[in-house]
Amino acid sequence: MTEILPAGEPSAPPVTVGSRVFLLSPARCDGRRAKILLNERATFDLAVRLRTEGAPIGDVFSFLSGLYFRGKLAYARMFGQRPGNAPASFAITTDRGLVSVETPITRADLERFADVDLASGDERYRNPLRDSARRLDRDLGNAETVVLLGSIATGKYADVLIEIFGDRLLFPIDFVGRGDMSRGGLLLRRAREGQELTYVPVRGAIRRGKRPPKLDPRSRVRDL
């Protein structure tokens, strides 16, 4: 069971929840690593699969983002659970909303992702995210919660998702004040150790905070 501390009440008794779904913020699809992956002459396995039969979006985003998304994916796969083996981990995309991390995508899909500027709040991004979040909300049972593994410092993810999930939308309190690399390392450590983080509701949370102490270097997880 996961312990959830209500926002603003750090000393309150923890709330236990059952099944949970993770929403993973997207990788950048138009950067240097994307150019490597989209290179038609690339011969490594992921690039070949992307331009032929397709590759899981979770694997593709892990390549594009490195440690941060790899940590999110490992953590979500470890702790995500729903009845009947229903998908419990979803990647946020720029133009298709929420997509199960196991969904195969192709080169053409990745090129379309790169055409939409998520940071601008383009309706090509917001409308599919809103629609897919509504569908997911209808599918969830009363005991299921939704955990955002991504930044809440801006509203580009949180604002749309709060519209749909309200106080069911949680995030790891240990994310506050950390950069992407620190978050990725933290998530990999917790996945490896089988220990979940503490979650709090996104709505009403402090979105920016003091940088926490550095992770213990003795337990460092290297980005292979």
125 found inside a domain? yes
Predicted confidence at residue 18, as pLDDT, reads 61
Cα–Cα distance for residue pair 113/217, rounded to 1 Å: 36
7 found inside a domain? yes
On the 0-12 / 13-18 / 19+ scale of CB atoms within 10 A, 171 is buried
49 found inside a domain? no
Mean pLDDT for 155-184 is 92
Q: How many separate domains does the chain show?
A: 1
pLDDT band at 6 (very low <50, low <70, confident <90, very high): very low
Predicted confidence at residue 68, as pLDDT, reads 93
154 found inside a domain? yes
Predicted confidence at residue 206, as pLDDT, reads 61
Percent of the chain with pLDDT strictly greater than 70: 83
On the 0-12 / 13-18 / 19+ scale of CB atoms within 10 A, 45 is exposed
Predicted confidence at residue 9, as pLDDT, reads 34
Give the helix/strand (H/E) hosting 89. Answer: strand 89-92
Percent of the chain with pLDDT strictly greater than 90: 67
Predicted confidence at residue 141, as pLDDT, reads 75
Is the per-residue pLDDT at 13 higher than 90?
no
39 found inside a domain? no
What average pLDDT does the chain have? 85
Among 64-68, 70-74, 140-144, 172-176, the range scoring the smallest mean pLDDT is 140-144
Predicted confidence at residue 119, as pLDDT, reads 77
Predicted confidence at residue 190, as pLDDT, reads 96
Coil/strand/helix, residue 171:
strand
Among candidates 96, 29, 86, which has minimal Cα distance to 62? 29
Cα–Cα distance for residue pair 64/27, rounded to 1 Å: 6
Alpha carbon of residue 16 to chain centroid: 22
Which residues span the domain enclosing 80? 2-32+55-104+113-217
Strands 89-92 and 55-56: unpaired
Among candidates 210, 216, 213, which has minimal Cα distance to 176? 210
Amino acid 140 reads L
Predicted confidence at residue 148, as pLDDT, reads 97
Long-range contacts, stretch 51-54, CB < 8 angstroms, 24+ apart: 51/106, 51/107, 53/104, 54/104, 54/105, 54/106, 54/109
191 found inside a domain? yes
43 found inside a domain? no
Predicted confidence at residue 213, as pLDDT, reads 53
Coil/strand/helix, residue 135:
helix
- pLDDT single digits (tens) 27-54: 999 999 999 999 999 999 999 999 999 9
Higher pLDDT, 177 or 51: 51
96 found inside a domain? yes
Cα–Cα distance for residue pair 44/46, rounded to 1 Å: 6
Among 113-122, 153-162, 203-212, the range scoring the smallest mean pLDDT is 203-212
Mean pLDDT for 150-178 is 91
Is the per-residue pLDDT at 208 higher than 60?
no
Predicted confidence at residue 218, as pLDDT, reads 44
Torsion of CA 33, 190, 152, 157, to 10 degrees: 60
How much helix, strand and coil, in percent to the nearest 5, is found in the chain? Answer: 45, 15, 40
